[in-house]
Amino acid sequence: MNYEKSLQAITHTPKELKTITKMYSDHYNGLLFKMYACVKDRNIAEDLVADVFCKASQKIRLFDKNSADISTWLYSIANNHLIDYLRSIKNKKTVNVNGYTNDEGKESFDFLAPKSSNADSLINNKEIEDKIILAFENLKPNYKEVATLYFINEYSYNEIANILNIPLGSVKGMLNRAKIMLQDSLKVVKMA
């Protein structure tokens, strides 16, 4: 009997499935970038994004399209989940390095190059990507969030104001300052 109830709880209507699918395709990359910018570990970021979409999928029936845009609702879930995650690891700031020693007990690290004829272009693209990510990481958190929503997720000023629940003028000012900071950080980067 409990099994049947749980099945009913996760069964979605075709309209809900369409909404969930569109939400995933529209927002996955932006959420992944946001999570990665905060946790700096792609695997953890992917897990966090998966959790966000699971929570959103479970609560899709609670979404009221008259009170908020779906992206605002989804980013609220993401922000709350990220805060919960960061709180949970707050006191766990240690790193286990037991796997980084060889048989003699000396530190050992192996780095493998990709098996590709385009290794140089991959390295250059990776270098540019790393510089862009570093430029975003160097932004103050409030500027980083506004810049991510604008540049990565391509939200309008009004949408960002709604998502972050801040005045439109603040969004414009923060975004202008973020643009200047990013331009300064990326002056030396030449796009190939």
As a whole number of angstroms, the distance between CA 184 and CA 178 comes to 10
Q: Residue 99, exposed/middle/buried by CB under 10 A (0-12, 13-18, 19+)?
A: exposed
Q: Which residues of 30-47 are buried (b: 16+ CB within 10 A; e: fewer)?
A: bbbbbbbbbbeeeeebee
Contact 39, 85 (CB under 8 A): yes
φ and ψ at residue 102, rounded to 5 degrees: -90, -175
Q: Which residue has the tokens 């570990």?
A: 41
Domains in the chain (CATH in brackets) are 7-94 (1.10.1740), 119-186 (1.10.10.10)
- Give the pLDDT confidence score for residue 50 in this predicted structure: 92
In this prediction the pTM is: 0.47
pLDDT along the chain (192 residues), means of 10: 42 83 90 85 91 89 82 87 80 47 51 45 62 81 84 81 87 90 73 45
As a whole number of angstroms, the distance between CA 155 and CA 145 comes to 12
- Give the pLDDT confidence score for residue 47 in this predicted structure: 93
As a whole number of angstroms, the distance between CA 24 and CA 19 comes to 9
